[in-house]
Amino acid sequence: MIDSEKIVEQPAKEMPQMRTVMLRMTNLRLHASGVFSNVYRDFDNAWKKPIPSISTTPISQFLSWFRYRGTLLEPAPQREIAIKKTWPENRERNFEMLFLTGIGRKPHKNVVQMIFAFSNRSGKHDRASGFNSLFFYLVFFVYTAWLVSLLQYPMEKCMFLLCESFVFEFLPDTLASVIKREKLDTTDIKLYAWQLFNGLRYLSSHSIVHRDIKPMNVLLDHLVGLLKIGDFGSAKTVRKVAKSTAYQVSNFAKHYTFHKCRVTRFYRPPELLLGAEYYNWTVVLRVDGLKCSSFLDVWSAGCVLGEMIRGKVLFPGRHRKHQLKLIFLSIGSPTAEDVKVMRVPTEIIFDGYVVVGTGLGMLCPNADPHLIGILSKILVYPPKERLHGRGLLLHPAFDSILQLINDL
């Protein structure tokens, strides 16, 4: 018997039909957040957790998201859901919102799909939303006071930030949590790698570059082996090769050095580490009519594959130069031709610093040779030569798991 007092009602739009519905939810609690490193299961007690010092907490920690989980009672069918609440910095619908609605495209089994959406102003005391708590308002007050005092951000904007709420089917794990918890066997690695690159192929067919592929942003149902690419907060649509950036700089922090990007260093391709500004997003038509993957995302996904094989981060650089050093030691330093095709600044010169790589097999001893072979074809300097798309998905190494893929 469900306690009627714990049922939350919230008007929302059903996606992609954009039909107005009334959500009836229960058992809502904070599951994770981008504010602190803690993850809460019991929302009622979340406010008891300590709030970090304003003076030591970077602004990026306050400009992120909360993720809740709960049970959707209506509309049917009853199911577990995840709710991501985020605060865009302007009043326009952000790219993540527009893409995840699914309007104008078919859903894909390896990419998260929004099922409902709603929005409200954070400064309005709306008890009907069911997400208000002492914890939330303490955080919001500290956040607001800090922005006003340190950055002179207008109080009226702080108090009425638009809060976007996205509702998804709940997947219990991330790839990061699974890697931390257990050693993946070869079958699991192949199963998840195939689905990850299959999802990227779908995104590239819609001219989407994710720009933040990493285990934390890959959602799993580990019991059934299902993978979905999530968190499109850094994604963008690219129609041609153009000057762009893989970095998302907050409007609040453009003049501050502590918040330069959301793309995690461990998964950043070498052309970005070396300062390239014109990236080969490569949304070009091939003979078969399909569009190639973003080679930026391909490198990142290769690092994720290496992390699954190794059981820990493949290139755990402490800073940009150390990140490059680890890559050089593994696959060798780039040649003059590599530097040219990566479009890095001409002042980048490697004369006198030639490294012969030890090979990726040294980082992943006892790994399946087929997986190391795939990894070695993905993690190369020339972006267009990175194994991707249909060629990768049809690699013989995946023959053994194709039936499992079909059964998902």
Domains and CATH numbers, the chain: 4-169 (3.30.200.20), 173-407 (1.10.510.10)
Residue with tokens 């690419």: 229
Rounded to whole angstroms, the Cα distance separating 237 from 259 reads 23
**Segment 84-119, tens digit of pLDDT:** 888 776 555 566 677 777 877 889 999 999 999 998
Q: Percentage of the chain surpassing pLDDT 90?
A: 46
Name the β-bridge partners of 13. Answer: 20, 117
Mean pLDDT of 276-285: 52
The closest alpha carbon to 267, from 294, 238, 241, belongs to 294
The amino acid present at 350, given as its one-letter code, is: F
Q: Is the pLDDT of residue 215 over 80?
A: yes
Q: How far is CA 207 from the centre of its chain?
A: 17
**What whole-number distance in Å separates Cα of residue 231 and Cα of residue 91?**
20
Instruction: Please say if 212 is a catalytic residue.
Output: yes
CA distance linking residue 381 with residue 385, whole number of Å: 8
Name the pLDDT band for 340 (thresholds 50, 70, 90): confident
Question: How does DSSP assign 118-160, residue by residue?
Answer: EEEETTS--GGGS---HHHHHHHHHHHHHHHHHH---HHHHHT
Q: Which of 44, 188, 212, 288 is catalytic?
A: 212
Q: What is the pTM of this model?
A: 0.79
Which pairing describes strands 218-221 and 226-229: parallel, antiparallel, or unpaired? antiparallel
- DSSP string covering 304-343, please? HHHHHHHSS-SS--SSHHHHHHHHHHHH-PPPHHHHHHTT
pLDDT: which is higher, 149 or 384: 384
Q: Are 192 and 182 in contact (CB under 8 A)?
A: no
Give the distance, in angstroms, between the CA of residue 269 and the centroid of all CA atoms in the same chain.
15
- The model's pLDDT over 235-259, given as tens digits with 9 standing for 90+, comes to 888 765 545 554 443 333 333 333 3
- Confidence class for position 49, pLDDT limits 50, 70, 90: very low
What band does 322 get if pLDDT is binned at 50, 70 and 90? very high
Q: Taking residues 107-132, what's their average pLDDT? A: 71
- Nearest 10 degrees: Cα torsion 287, 289, 294, 297: -110
Q: What is the pLDDT of residue 262?
A: 47
**Mean predicted confidence (pLDDT) in 199-227:** 93
Rounded Cα distance between 49 and 29, Å, is: 14
Cα distances from 281 to residues 3, 116, 332, in angstroms, run 51, 30, 24
Q: How many Cα atoms occupy the beta-carbon half-sphere of 70 within 13 Å? A: 24
Distance spanning both ends of the chain, measured CA to CA? 33
